[in-house]
A and B are shown apart, each in its own frame.
Chain A
Amino acid sequence: SYDLTQPLSVSVALGQTAKITCGGNNIVSKNVHWYQQKPGQAPVLVICRDTIRPSGIPDRFSGSNSGNTATLTISRAQVGDEAVYYCQVWGSLSWVFGGGTKLTVL
């Protein structure tokens, strides 16, 4: 099976840039999708296919994918960005989710 590795937590100062990583073997060969889940709510797709923002997602959210690491970047972080972020790929046999990263805005 294909495994995705995310840090448990990331902290960022208000207004600064947060980077959340998602590690996987040769992940650059896969489409990486990112989801934001706020407490008590369903997840929301914020980045699909590495870099594409769905309609309604602020341009402060961006994604990249290279080598063995995909990255979700949140610029000008706001308190409202506090959430758990999950990466996800098609792992050749099935869909795979990362374990999630809790983003704290200080």
Chain B
Amino acid sequence: EVQLVESGGGLIQPGGSLRLSCAASGFTVSSNYMSWVRQAPGKGLDLVSVLNKDGSTYYADSVKGRFTISRDNSKNIGYLQMNSLKVEDTAVYYCVGIPAASDSFDYWGQGTLVAVSS
């Protein structure tokens, strides 16, 4: 059974930084795709970033230059480093696994809330 467990969310002031973690079991982050999808209160799904199995990355324009996605293969954990946070980054952040050779978001974590406010 695949489990993705996020941690690291919280309340942060504008301009601050947070690092989200995604601990994976039953899903090997190094041989699949790992992504972060966020959902602002009352809004739809917004793809933030994807880390491909070959190490290449995708970032939404809204976070490019501020967020960095990475992984620790030995621990099977994914990360999202978020810097220069803005009020509009407030959302539930989901870690989502995309199986290799697929383009569907198969495995979702429970989400972690990031609230950016002064």
- A91 to B, closest residue via Cβ: B103
Task: Find out whether the CB atom of B106 lies under 8 angstroms from the CB atom of A97.
Answer: no
Complex CA gap A42/B111 in Å reads 7
Nearest chain B CB to A81 CB, angstrom units: 19
Task: Find out whether the CB atom of A33 lies under 8 angstroms from the CB atom of B47.
Answer: no
**B94 is an interface residue with CB less than 8 A from chain A:** yes
Q: Which of A61-100 contact B (CB under 8 A)?
A: 84, 86, 88-90, 94-100
Task: Find out whether the CB atom of A97 lies under 8 angstroms from the CB atom of B104.
Answer: no
Q: Which of B86-118 contact A (CB under 8 A)?
A: 94, 102-106, 108-111
Using a Cβ–Cβ cut-off of 8 Å, how many residues does chain A contribute to the interface with B?
A: 23
Task: Find out whether the CB atom of B50 lies under 8 angstroms from the CB atom of A95.
Answer: yes
Q: Which of A20-53 contact B (CB under 8 A)?
A: 31, 33, 35, 37, 42-45, 48-49
- A32 to B, closest residue via Cβ: B104
**B26 is an interface residue with CB less than 8 A from chain A:** no
Q: Which of B57-72 contact A (CB under 8 A)?
A: 58
- Which of the residues B45, B102, B103, B110 comes within 8 Å of A97, measured between beta carbons? B45
Nearest chain A CB to B87 CB, angstrom units: 22
Which B residues lie at the A interface, using CB under 8 A? Answer: 35, 44-47, 50, 58, 94, 102-106, 108-111
27 contacts between A and B (CB under 8 A): A31-B104, A33-B104, A35-B105, A42-B110, A42-B111, A43-B105, A43-B108, A45-B104, A45-B106, A48-B102, A49-B104, A54-B106, A86-B45, A88-B45, A88-B104, A95-B35, A95-B50, A95-B103, A95-B105, A96-B47, A97-B44, A97-B45, A97-B47, A98-B44, A99-B44, A100-B44, A100-B45
